[in-house]
Each structure stands twice: as C-alpha cells, then as structure tokens.
C-alpha cells in the first residue's frame, strides 16, 4: 500500500509501505476511505514532536471500512463503516473507565499515552491502518452521515469541545473569546453554544477566517492585528473581560492574549499544541483568581457529537474547504500548510 511517511523534520513522502496486519486479538484493519491533515501533523514536520521517529506513517484522523478483525472483536465486522478516533482506548484501565482516554494505560504505543496514531504507531494517512482496541477506538457510522462530516469527529470537533468548551467551564450566558479561528478554534466556536454561551468572539489575524467564523456561530469578530484589538474585545464585555478565553493556536503570543482579556474569576482554556515554552506571569495573574486548563482530547464525547452531526445540529461539513485524492496527498499538504494564502480550513483526502 501507499502512505505518507515521515522522513525527519521537513521531510515526508507518499510511498510504498507494507500492508498492516492483525497483531493482537483486539485489532481491526480498516481501509481508509477518507482522511485529512491536522495542524499537529505540521508541528511534527517542524520537529516539534521528537517522539515521532523516521519511518512513521503520519495521520490520526480518518473514516473507513473494516476489512478484518481480531479474534476477540465481537461488536464490529468486516464491511462496517467507522470513524477512527484519534485516541486509543483499551476500555479496561482505570483511566479509560473514568473517561480519561487520553491517558489510556494500554501498552499499545506506550502506556499512559492515548494519542498513538501517527505518533507512536503508524497512522491514518495511508490506504490501510491497523486500529488497536478496535471496539473502543472505532465508532460505527449511522446512515446519513457523510465521510466528509464524519472525519471531523476523529479529532477537531471533540478537541474543540472537550478541551476548549468543557475544560473552559463554559456556562449559560457566558461571553467566550476564541483566539485562533482555525479548524479547532472553529470547532470550539461551533460547540460553545451547546453549553449556552451568549456571546462568542472570534479573534484572528486572517479576515477570511473571521468571516468564516460567523458561519460556525461567532457573534462578533476581532482582527488581532489591529492596534486596538484588546480594547475591542473588552468593549464587548463592558470592560470586565471575557468569562472564558480559549487559546487555539499554540504560540506564546496567543496564550498571553488570553490572559490579558479574561475577567477575574474566569477561565483560560489552552487547546493549542505548543512547540515552545510560554511565559506565565504569575506575579500578575495570581491576584486575578483565574483558572488555567489544558490537555489532550479524550474523545469521550465523540458518540454524543456524532448524534448532533447526524441530526444536523453541528455544521461538520463546513470545515471541508478543499478536496484531494490520495494520489494528490503532497498537494494537499502544500495547500494546508499555506492556509493563509489558500483559505484552507480542512483538506479532505479520499481514496
């Protein structure tokens, strides 16, 4: 089969690799019908994730069709159409039983690390993928949900909702600011209303993404390149600051922005993947009584979000802006990496 293979920082190739095989009784082999590229993949290619070794197949998002299952898999069968979760779940350890799948203690990849696809084991940017703990790491797709919609449930929708909205403690009537209107930021915007946010402010450097954010539920937009960006945000809160500030970029400047606009007693939810250290000015922040949260998605809300997508309550299909075939993978990466020029949100790549 062919797959996107990591060749070291700045290097990748669409090349021939061996087909995956069943290794454990709980495995399944999935033919990947649709996949996509995540900002985390770009971080890997920058060298920000040293655990990813040369030769690794990249990708952690996908929708496909099961072709083979291990001997202990009873609830899934060949021919089933499934979402591949970006997070493994053995379903048996203490962390999985408490819903903390991001720290699954199953030994696939590494005990205590839930993100394994395209990280510690071969990923989904391939014609086929081996899925460990298949019964807990795959989600059956109902009729009426397209591959294009479903692939957004592998990662970005649960990430924006869980780490942004849930960890940010959004509650009815809140004013929420989302710094970074990329795919994950837009996912936070799209799901903040589920918990009753009254005002949702999108903040970004890109005017196209700001306009797009209105389609996902943003009530107000602020151009972060404007000299008075902070005053504009505070002006929408009567000067008090936002109840929840969600960081969805992963650079020091955007994290600092969140701490500058959150009100006393509010919440800063860091969703972005940071490749560099960030200064935390405790000498200024300690007196503000704010809560700061961060984390890796658990994907324990995927079944619930899937129901909402199936009922047309979440606009999952709006994330897809560009479409490619597997033999155009390198073009897809180029388009996604130049999102500011190409206006790409999510690139959808199909077999």
Q: What is the CATH number of the domain that holds 203?
A: 3.40.50.720
- Above 90 in pLDDT, residue 327? yes
Let me know whether 137 and 274 are in one domain.
no
Instruction: Give 292-307 pLDDT, tens digit per residue.
Output: 999 999 999 999 999 9
**Count of C-beta atoms within a 10 Å radius of residue 70:** 20
Rounded (5°) CA angle 190-193-197: 125
Range of the structural domain that residue 182 is part of: 160-294
- Which residues touch 229 (CB under 8 Å, ≥6 apart)? 203, 222, 223
The distance in angstroms from the start CA to the end CA of the chain is 12
* 302: CATH: 3.90.180.10
Q: pLDDT class for 45, splitting at 50, 70, 90?
A: very high
pTM: 0.95
Task: Count the domains in the chain.
Answer: 2
Output the six-digit token pair for 6: 């990591």
Across the chain, mean pLDDT equals: 97
Helix segments in the chain, DSSP class H: 39-46, 94-97, 134-137, 147-150, 156-159, 183-192, 207-215, 229-235, 252-261, 282-285, 302-310, 329-337, 339-342
Q: Which of 276, 294, 312 is the last residue of a domain?
A: 294
Same domain for 227 and 183: yes
**Helix or strand run (H / E) with residue 293:** strand 291-294
The mean per-residue pLDDT over the stretch 146-167 comes to 98
On whether both 303 and 206 belong to a single domain, the answer is: no
Shared domain for 143 and 17, answered yes or no, is yes
How far is 27 from 68, CA to CA, in rounded Å? Answer: 9
Q: Are 139 and 183 in a shared domain? A: no
User: What pLDDT shows up at residue 43?
Assistant: 87
Let me know whether 147 and 167 are in one domain. no
A 10 A CB-CB count for 235 gives 12
The residue out of 257, 277, 294 marking a domain boundary is 294
pLDDT in tens, 47-101: 888 999 999 999 999 999 999 999 999 999 999 999 999 999 999 999 999 999 9
Question: Residue 140: what are its φ and ψ, rounded to 5°?
Answer: -65, 135
Q: pLDDT (tens digit, 9 = 90+) per residue, 105-124?
A: 999 999 999 999 999 999 99
Report the distance separating Cα 261 and Cα 242, nearest Å.
6
Same domain, yes or no, for 175 and 151? no
Bridge partners, 130 (sequence order):
29
17/65 same-domain check:
yes
Q: In this structure, are 259 and 341 located in the same domain? A: no
Q: Residues 57, 93: one domain?
A: yes
Q: Output the CA–CA distances (angstroms, integers) from residue 17 to 13, 60, 130, in the order listed.
A: 11, 17, 13
Mean pLDDT of 309-320: 96
CB-CB neighbours of 59 under 10 Å:
29
pLDDT of 305: 98
Q: Are residues 344 and 326 in the same domain?
A: yes
Does residue 160 sit in helix, strand or coil? Answer: helix
Q: Are 17 and 130 part of one and the same domain?
A: yes
- Domain stops at, among 294, 314, 336: 294
């Amino acid at each position: 089969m062919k797959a996107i293979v990591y060749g070291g920082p700045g290097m990748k190739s669409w090349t021939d690799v061996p087909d995956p095989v069943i290794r454990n009784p709980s495995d399944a082999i999935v033919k990947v019908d649709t996949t996509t590229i995540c900002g985390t993949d770009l971080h890997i290619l920058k060298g920000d994730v040293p655990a990813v070794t040369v030769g690794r197949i990249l990708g952690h998002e996908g929708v496909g069709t099961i072709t083979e299952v291990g001997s202990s898999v009873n609830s899934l069968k060949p021919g089933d159409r499934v979402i591949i979760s970006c997070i493994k779940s053995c379903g048996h350890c203490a962390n999985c039983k408490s819903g903390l799948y991001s720290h699954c203690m199953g030994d696939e990849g590494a005990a205590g690390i839930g993100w394994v696809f395209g990280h510690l084991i071969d990923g989904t940017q391939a014609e086929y993928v081996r899925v460990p703990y298949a019964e807990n790491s795959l989600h059956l797709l109902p009729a009426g949900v397209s591959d294009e919609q479903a692939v957004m449930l592998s990662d970005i929708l649960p990430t924006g909702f869980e780490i942004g909205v849930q960890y940010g403690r959004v509650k009815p009537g809140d004013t929420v600011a989302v710094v970074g209107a990329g795919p994950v930021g837009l996912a936070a915007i799209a799901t903040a209303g589920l918990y009753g946010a009254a005002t949702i402010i999108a903040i970004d450097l890109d005017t196209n993404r700001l306009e797009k954010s209105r389609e996902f539920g943003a009530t107000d937009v602020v151009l972060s390149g404007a000299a008075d960006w902070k005053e504009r945000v505070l002006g929408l809160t009567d000067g008090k600051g936002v109840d929840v500030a969600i960081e969805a970029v992963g650079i020091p400047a955007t994290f600092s922005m969140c701490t500058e606009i959150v009100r006393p007693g509010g919440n800063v939810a860091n969703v972005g993947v940071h490749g560099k250290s960030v200064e935390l000015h405790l000498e200024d922040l300690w007196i503000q009584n704010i809560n700061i949260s961060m984390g890796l998605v658990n994907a324990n809300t995927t079944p619930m979000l899937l129901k909402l997508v199936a009922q047309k309550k979440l606009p999952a299909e709006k994330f897809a802006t560009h479409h490619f075939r597997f033999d155009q993978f390198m073009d897809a990466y180029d388009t996604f990496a130049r999102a500011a020029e190409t206006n790409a949100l999510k690139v959808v790549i199909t077999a």
